[in-house]
Structure 1
Amino acid sequence: MRRKHGPRILNLGLGLKLGLGLGLGLAVAACGSASAGTVRAEDTFDAAAEAAADPAHARALRAAGWTPEAFGVEVAGAAPRRTLRFPAPTPGAGRGDRALPVEVLWFGADRGDAAGPAVVIVHSLAPGMPLARGLANAVAQAGVDAFVVTLPGYGGRRPPAGRSPGAEAVLSGAGGVADVRRALDAVAALAEIDGDRLVLAGISLGSFAAVSASALDGRPVATVSFLGGGSAFEGLRDGAKDAAFLREELLRSGETMGSLEARLRPIEPLAFAGRLEPDRVWLATATADQVILPANAAALAAAVGGEGLADDHWIRRPGNHYTAAFALPGVAQLLVRLAEAPPGR
């Protein structure tokens, strides 16, 4: 029997710990002893093979896919805060500057020497990535390593003059999805991480890339979309506030709604949703969201796995796109729980 609303995912003890981690944003306990250097990784996503096995989603798989290869992952900095850098793959529908490396911020956890699970987070529209950083910090405080993938236009991948980071991410299209998917293999190559226990999460803008990346080949043991939906194009077309500002910037730059739809439709979550396993997907949304409208989230919830999500996998809370930040401790708790006890294990 399906419940009307999602579970209460915040309890007092762990919730307080996670809340403090989000608020402080700085004090992460020291973690393992890995030093700076280069780690060898290898793409485990093969778009051609996946497309041949799944003709229904072949177009989307080819759009987001690239030729798999071995690649180096540079690890810079000292624990508990390090940065990974690796070459950006060039997908079939890639746009934007692929010459700049992908950056992934590593928030280390204090959990001893054994390889453990990890949470990989894709950030929202805000240039400084504050929500993703706060969420990653809270997860690390709770004992699980966390990583923040920077989309094109963010961090060291600065956009061209006169273009906002969010516009660069949109114009990169499949590039951001490919970056997130390769980031999973980069993180899995680290000795401190159990590559079979990766949880992938996305916030708002980042939720679209995260869900699509998860659907490519199902590597994450669980996927969480926070303040996202099924259609990046409809989010851009219909949303107010931040979505409207971004839409207006793109239209002023010479894009049209038709060109944006052609760029986004092939690689947004609804293009892949049938490949997702419903028992490994969670949505957390705001009932009065004016940026990513509730109908957009409902479309994703209905499409996952071709059968839709059970209500206990769709967490709906009062509030809008901005007040929903108060739900971050609960989302952090959910991510930690999924990492420590993956679905089906």
Structure 2
Amino acid sequence: MQHKEYLVGVDMGGTKIAVGLLSVDGKIIKEMRMDTRGHEGPELVVKRIVEAINALSEGYDIRSIGVGVPGIVNTEKGIIEYWSTFNWRNIHLEKMLYAQLQKKVTVVNDASAATWGEFNFGAGRHAHNMAFMTISTGIGGGIILERKLYNGSNMLAGEIGHVTVNPNGPLCNCGKFGCLEAYASGLSIQKHAVEAIKNRPSMLSDMEQQEKRPLDTKMVFAAYASGDDVAQQIIDQAATYVGIVLANFIQTFNPDCIVLGGGVMKTNARFMEKIQEVTHQYVLPSYRDTYEIRRSELFENAALIGAANLMI
């Protein structure tokens, strides 16, 4: 038996679940990853998470368990109010896990968990006020105010992906039109590219034929790096809307640090540079030397680390 206390973090995603055993200083000691299979229902998903936690924690003294989940989460009650991917509603995840593990469990939105992870152990660890945006399949975010995670009056703060950037824009998955996510998420970038190459010549069409698979976001960024006009327009549009949203956020909350994470931020350094340029362009001059925009240091581990450490 180990003499120190340890933490468990769980990052539930739409396709994968990561379960990790961590030290209290944010180091992942060991982890397991599995397919989510959320269509099988929450009971079976929880059963597999419990099995993974028991396997990882055998011989360790576990202080607490933190779980990051996409969607609308009521952290005070430990309930997943709505997870659109699997149409889960009012799932009492905290009670379900506690009943089998007899350990304190905290359930949070995964973007909030990632925000906390980056703030404590990643690119935002020296910040006082911080904003986090994850640009992946979708877009999420989180806010640190006065070195505390800000959840809002109804635990709904940080839905930065659904800020409207163009009221006449495309339909978003949330049901609104012209959300940031409808332009700048990985899935939206792919969709815009698929539509664009129907009417315009582009190296993307050649890439699709050569690789014998449907167009994806990585191909769009590869074409962007090669100077393809269609890819350039789509990626620059995405970066422009991200930059405008960040400029508005800076003028509203005056953070000293903004951290950008998610798979899309791994793709191309020029994308990051464009976001920085647009943010600088749209923010008032008096704010221009008050913040830094940084790339995530934790990336896919941010939510796992943050969720585990929220109870410290």
What is the TM-score of this pair, normalised by structure 2?
A: 0.31
Give 1 or 2 for the bigger CA radius of gyration: 2
Q: TM-score, normalised by structure 1?
A: 0.29
Higher strand share: 2
